Structure 1
């Protein structure tokens, strides 16, 4: 039975040089504070993982590459784990977006699944690719422990799926920089069963 379990750690990347702006397609390096957040949590980690999977965005992949090399772990980049594309909001902070698109941003805070910024990715398309990646993790890493370095809305979408939360509660899930969410997936003859083990731990 134990070999049917996959343990997944969803790691939110650290703070970035671009600051607190909407970063979906935006490639931005980790700031010094961001590197410190991640290294404090994982730099002294024992061999607790069997593999690392990362979003290809720089803010995720740079740490994933460093950690995988340090721990001598296989590393996979998965395009499906990118953050949602925020369209015209990319590179702008919420205050700036509020000044130009106040009603749209207010609607997004209430339910991000119902609002797509101009030029951005639809939430339906985003959720489909994220959950496709999530399903594959349970299959590809059965019996293993995989660390996934990704973005806040990706983590929220997976958690909402596992916990069967309504879309309007997505942003109620607080995702801090450098925080880890641990889940366990069981696959057996009756299907796939996922459970939340810990959320927001360092």
Structure 2
């Protein structure tokens, strides 16, 4: 059994689209980070290369092998919408923004990516990690959208169903692969 312990990065306090824009995480809640670190296995830690995920991984890594960060685990790419408030996006792109949330599979923000494109990007990296870490545990520190793509994959959800799930900051979603398929063992657990 291979287990991927997905951890969503620390809170950013952003109120706008935050995809590939590099904003820091608030990692000031030391007791919460300590509880999270204690709940995770002694396993290699890998993160998205965005600072909010990388810094969270560094906070969890003492005593664990720390693997290089990878851009492939980044959040959904919101393109021109990154840094803008939802209301501004709705005003400038009313039809596309509605389709992006109502039928997100193939709709992408200008200069961004669709759900399907993000799923392919993230799943390819997960498949590589699965091949190199078979029958072990791996801690992946990533983002809301990245985690949801893999939860949808494990559960066989469509994107609309995936977006119904809550993935809190500093929570754990554990997905396991038994050699034939995926299982979601834990979703959005906050130690």
- TM-score, normalized by length of structure 1? 0.84
Cα shift readout 1:146-198 (whole Å, capped 9, x = no counterpart): 110001111111111111112332311222222110111112xxxx2211111
In the TM superposition, residue 58 of structure 1 has moved relative to its aligned partner by 0.4
Change (3 A) 1:83 1:158: same
In the TM superposition, residue 57 of structure 1 has moved relative to its aligned partner by 0.4
In the TM superposition, residue 106 of structure 1 has moved relative to its aligned partner by 2.0
Of the three residues 43, 48, 52, the one matched with 1:55 is 48
Cα shift readout 1:19-50 (whole Å, capped 9, x = no counterpart): 122122200011256x558515424x167131
Match of 2:183 in 1: 195
Match of 2:97 in 1: 105
Alignment gaps of 5+ in structure 1 = none
Partners of 1:25 and 1:83 within 8 A in 2: yes
Q: Give secondary structure in 2 for the equivalent of 1:172.
A: coil
2:36 matched to 1:42?
yes
Determine which structure has the larger strand proportion and give its number: 1
Change (3 A) 1:147 1:159: same
2:14 matched to 1:24?
no
How far apart are the structure 2 equivalents of 1:197 and 1:46? 14
How far apart are the structure 1 equivalents of 2:152 and 2:39? 30
How far apart are the structure 1 equivalents of 2:90 and 2:31? 29
Q: Give secondary structure in 1 for the equivalent of 2:3.
A: strand
How far apart are the structure 2 equivalents of 1:24 and 1:8? 22
Of the three residues 67, 70, 78, the one matched with 2:60 is 67
Cα shift readout 1:101-121 (whole Å, capped 9, x = no counterpart): 233222222132232111112
Q: Give secondary structure in 2 for the equivalent of 1:77.
A: coil
Change (3 A) 1:71 1:168: same
Q: Give secondary structure in 1 for the equivalent of 2:166.
A: coil
- TM-score, normalized by length of structure 2? 0.89
Determine which structure has the larger helix proportion and give its number: 1
Change (3 A) 1:37 1:9: farther
How far apart are the structure 2 equivalents of 1:89 and 1:37? 34
How far apart are the structure 1 equivalents of 2:142 and 2:91? 29
Change (3 A) 1:200 1:46: closer
Of the three residues 168, 174, 178, the one matched with 1:182 is 174
How far apart are the structure 1 equivalents of 2:79 and 2:34? 33
